[in-house]
A and B are shown apart, each in its own frame.
Chain A
Amino acid sequence: MPDTSKMPPPPPFKAGGSIAPPPMKAPTGPAKDLNIDIPVIALTAKDFSSDQDVRWCPGCGDYSILAQVQRTMPDLHVSRHQTVFVAGIGCSSRFPYYMNTYGFHGIHGRAPAIASGVKAANPELNVWVATGDGDGLSIGGNHTLHLLRRNFNINVLLFNNRIYGLTKGQYSPTSEHGKKTKSTPYGSIDHPLNPVLFALGCEATFVARSIDRDPKHMQEVIKRAAAHHGTSFMEIYQNCNIFNDGAFLDLTEKDVKDDHLVVLTHGEPLIFGKNKDKAIVLEGFNPRVVNVADTTPDQIVRHDEKNPILASILAKMSDMEGFPTPIGIFLSVDRATYEDEMTDQIKTAREKSTGDLKKLLNSGNTWQVN
Chain B
Amino acid sequence: MANEAEVKGIATSTNGHNGHATPESIGQRPKLPIEIREDVTIRFAGDSGDGMQLTGTQFTNTTAIVGNDLSTLPDYPAEIRAPIGTLYGVSGFQIHFSSKDIHTPGDNPDVLVAMNPAALKVNLHDLKKGGVIILNENAFDEKNLKLAHYDTNPLEDDTLSGYTVYKFPLTKITLDAVKDLKMGTKEGARSKNMVALGLVYWLYNRPLEPTMEWLKAKFGKNEQVYEANLRALKAGYYLGETAELFSARYEVKPATFTPGRYRGIMGNEATALGFVAASVKSGLPLFLGSYPITPASDILHELSKYKNFGVKTFQAEDEIAGICSAIGASYAGSIGITTTSGPGLALKAEALGLAVMTELPIVVIDVQRGGPSTGLPTKTEQADLMQALYGRNGECPVAVIAAKSPTDCFDTAFEAVKIALKYMVPVIMLSDGYIANGAEPWLIPDVDKLPEIISKKRLKAEEGKPFMPYERDADNARPWAVPGVEGLEHRIGGLEKQHITGNVNYEPHNHDFMVRLRQQKVDGIGKDVAPTELHGPKSGKILLLSWGGTYGAVLSAQEQLASKGVAMAHLRWMNPLPPDLGDILKNYEHIVIPELNLGQLRRIIRDKFLVDAIGINKVEGLPFTPHEVVSKVEEIMAKF
8 Å CB interface, B493-522 against A: 493-495, 498-501, 503-505, 507, 509-510, 512-513, 516-517, 520-521
For residue B351, CB closer than 8 A to chain A, the reply is: yes
Extra contacts, 19 of them, besides A348-B307, A362-B263, A365-B210 (Cβ < 8 A), are A7-B517, A10-B509, A23-B461, A81-B486, A83-B483, A104-B492, A105-B494, A107-B351, A117-B332, A118-B331, A350-B308, A355-B310, A357-B276, A360-B309, A363-B263, A366-B7, A367-B64, A367-B261, A369-B262
List chain A residues, Cβ under 8 A from B262.
366-369
User: Chain B interface: which of A62-70, A141-149, A156-164, A259-267?
Assistant: A141-149
Interface size for chain B: under 10, 10 to 19, 20 to 34, or 35 or more residues? 35 or more
Residues of A within 8 A of B582 (CB): none
Q: List 12 A-B contacts (CB under 8 A).
A: A2-B520, A23-B487, A99-B491, A119-B328, A119-B332, A120-B328, A354-B308, A357-B309, A365-B61, A365-B263, A366-B262, A368-B262
| Partner pick for B466 among A9, A20, A117, A348, CB 8 A cutoff | A20
- Chain B interface mostly: mixed
- Which residues 108-127 of A sit at the B interface, judged by CB distance below 8 A? 110, 112-122, 124-125
Residues of B close to A102: CB separation below 8 A: 483, 489-491
- CB pair B328–A10 under 8 Å, yes or no, is no
CA distance A10 to B505 in the complex (A): 12
Question: Does residue A36 face the partner (Cβ distance < 8 Å to B)?
Answer: no
Known: A96-B493, A105-B494. A364 touches B486 (CB 8 A): no
Task: Find out whether the CB atom of A145 lies under 8 angstroms from the CB atom of B327.
Answer: no
**Hey, which chain B residues are within 8 Å of A355, CB to CB?**
276, 280, 306, 308-310
Q: Which residues from B are CB-within-8-Å of A18?
A: 501, 503
Cβ contacts under 8 Å, B467 to chain A: 19-20, 23
Which residues on A sit within 8 Å (CB–CB) of B510? 10-11
B447 close to chain A: CB less than 8 A: yes
A1 to B475 alpha-carbon distance, docked (Å):
7
Residue B329 at the A interface, CB < 8 A? Answer: yes
Which residues of B are found within 8 Å of A11, using beta-carbon distances? 498-499, 505, 507, 509-510, 513
Q: Does chain A have a CB within 8 A of B287?
A: yes
Q: Point out the residues of chain A lying under 8 angstroms from B507, CB to CB.
A: 11
Question: How distant is the Cα of A117 from the Cα of B320 in the complex, in angstroms?
Answer: 12
Interface stretch of the complex, out of B252-260, B602-610, B622-630: B252-260
- CB atoms of A81 and B501 under 8 A apart: no
Known: A1-B476, A23-B486, A361-B444. A121 touches B312 (CB 8 A): yes
> Is there contact, CB below 8 Å, between A81 and B499?
no
Contact between chains at A350 and B310 (CB < 8 Å)? yes
A residues with CB within 8 A of B: 1-3, 7-11, 13, 15-16, 18-24, 26, 50, 52, 79-84, 86-87, 89, 96-97, 99-107, 110, 112-122, 124-125, 142-143, 145-146, 342, 345-346, 348-350, 352-355, 357-358, 360-370
Closest to B504 in A: A97
Contact A117 B273 (CB under 8 A): no
7 interchain residue pairs of minimum CB distance: A117-B328, A105-B493, A23-B487, A355-B309, A117-B325, A113-B324, A103-B491
With a cutoff of 8 Å between Cβ atoms, the chain B residues found around residue A15 in the complex are 466
**Contacting pair A13 B520 (CB below 8 A):** no
A97 to B501, CA, bound (A): 13
Interchain CB contact under 8 A, B273 and A361: yes
Contact status B328-A362, CB under 8 Å: no
Question: Nearest chain-B residue to A357 (Cβ)?
Answer: B280
B270 to chain A, nearest CB (A): 10
Cβ B332 vs Cβ A146 within 8 A: no
Q: With A and B bound together, what is the CA distance between A335 and B445 in angstroms?
A: 44
Chain A positions within 8 Å of B492 at CB level: 103-105
Interface contact B261-A366, CB-CB below 8 Å: yes
Q: Is the C-beta of B227 less than 8 angstroms from some C-beta in chain A?
A: no
Find out whether the CB atom of A2 lies under 8 angstroms from the CB atom of B517: yes
Chain B residues numbered 319-373 whose CB sits less than 8 Å from any CB in chain A: 320-321, 324-334, 336, 350-351, 353-354, 358
Task: Name A347's closest neighbour in chain B (CB-CB).
Answer: B307
A146 & B317 in contact (Cβ 8 Å cutoff): yes
User: What is the minimal beta-carbon distance from A287 to any residue of chain B, in angstroms?
Assistant: 33
Pick the most buried of B260, B307, B465: most chain A CB atoms within 10 A of its CB: B307
Q: Hey, which chain B residues are within 8 Å of A358, CB to CB?
A: 447
From A118, A121, A358, residue with most partner B Cβ within 10 Å:
A121
The distance in angstroms between the C-alpha atoms of A342 and B330, with both chains bound, is: 17
Q: Is the CB of A1 within 8 A of B509?
A: no
Contact B354 A106 (CB under 8 A): yes
How far is A342 from B310 in the complex, measured between Cα atoms in Å? Answer: 10
Given A101-B489, A103-B491, A110-B351, A81:B329 Cβ within 8 A? no
Contacts of A82 on B, CB cut-off 8 Å? 483-484
Contact residues of B between 430 and 485, Cβ < 8 Å to A: 444-445, 447, 461, 464-468, 472, 474, 476, 482-485
| Cα separation A354 to B311 with both chains bound (whole Å) | 12
A102 to B491 Cα, complex, angstroms: 6
- Check B487–A81 contact: CB distance below 8 A: yes
- Alpha-carbon distance between A120 and B498 when the two chains are bound, in angstroms: 30
The answer on a CB contact under 8 Å between A365 and B509 is: no
Chain B contacts to A: CB under 8 angstroms: 1-2, 4, 7-8, 11, 61, 64-65, 67, 210, 257-265, 273, 276-277, 280, 285, 287, 289, 306-310, 312, 314, 316-318, 320-321, 324-334, 336, 350-351, 353-354, 358, 444-445, 447, 461, 464-468, 472, 474, 476, 482-495, 498-501, 503-505, 507, 509-510, 512-513, 516-517, 520-521
**Contact A79/B486 with A11-B509, A97-B491, A121-B328 known, Cβ cut-off 8 Å:** yes
Q: Shortest Cβ distance from A176 into chain B, in angstroms?
A: 29
Q: Are B310 and A80 in contact (CB under 8 A)?
A: no
Are A118's CB and B483's CB within 8 A? Answer: yes
Distance (Å) between the CB of A99 and the closest chain B CB? Answer: 8
User: Distance in Å from the Cβ of B546 to the closest Cβ of chain A?
Assistant: 28
Check B7–A81 contact: CB distance below 8 A. no
Closest residue on chain A to residue B505 by CB atoms:
A11
**Beyond A364-B264, A367-B261, is A107–B494 a contact (Cβ under 8 Å)?**
yes
Decide: B489 and A125 in contact? CB cutoff 8 A: no
Are B498 and A13 in contact, with the CB atoms below 8 A?
yes
Instruction: Determine the chain A residues whose CB is within 8 A of the CB of B489 once the complex forms.
Output: 20, 23, 80-81, 100-103
What chain A residues lie within 8 Å of B317 (beta carbons)?
Answer: 113, 142-143, 145-146
Give the docked Cα–Cα distance between A16 and B7 (Å).
69
Cβ 8 A contact of A368, one of B8, B310, B468: B8
Complex Cα gap A9–B517 (Å)? 11
Supposing A113-B321, A361-B447, A362-B263 touch, asked if A104 and B484 sit within 8 A by C-beta, the answer is no
B-side contacts of A350, CB under 8 Å: 307-308, 310
Q: How far is the CB of A369 from chain B (nearest CB, A)?
A: 4
CA separation between A3 and B516, bound complex, in Å? 10
Q: B517 and A114: CB pair below 8 A?
A: no
Residue of A nearest to B7 (CB): A367
CB-CB under 8 A from A368, the residues of chain B are: 8, 260-262
Q: Decide if B464 touches A22 in the complex (CB within 8 Å).
A: yes
Whether A117 and B329, one on each chain, are in contact in the complex, defined by CB atoms closer than 8 angstroms, is yes
A367 to B488, CA, bound (A): 50
Partner of A346, one of B307, B444, B468, B495: B307
Write out the residue numbers on chain A whose beta carbons fall within 8 Å of the beta carbon of B509.
8-11
| Known contacts A86-B328, A342-B312, A366-B263; A117 and B289 CB within 8 A of each other | yes
- Check A104/B328 contact, CB under 8 A, given A82-B484, A113-B321: yes
Q: Chain A residue with minimal CB distance to B280? A: A357
B67 and A367 contacting across the interface, CB-CB below 8 Å: yes
Taking a contact as CB atoms under 8 Å apart, the answer to whether B484 and A124 are in contact is: yes
Bound form: Cα–Cα A23–B488 in Å: 7
Residues of the B chain whose Cβ atoms lie less than 8 Å from the Cβ of A113: 289, 316-317, 320-321, 324-325, 328
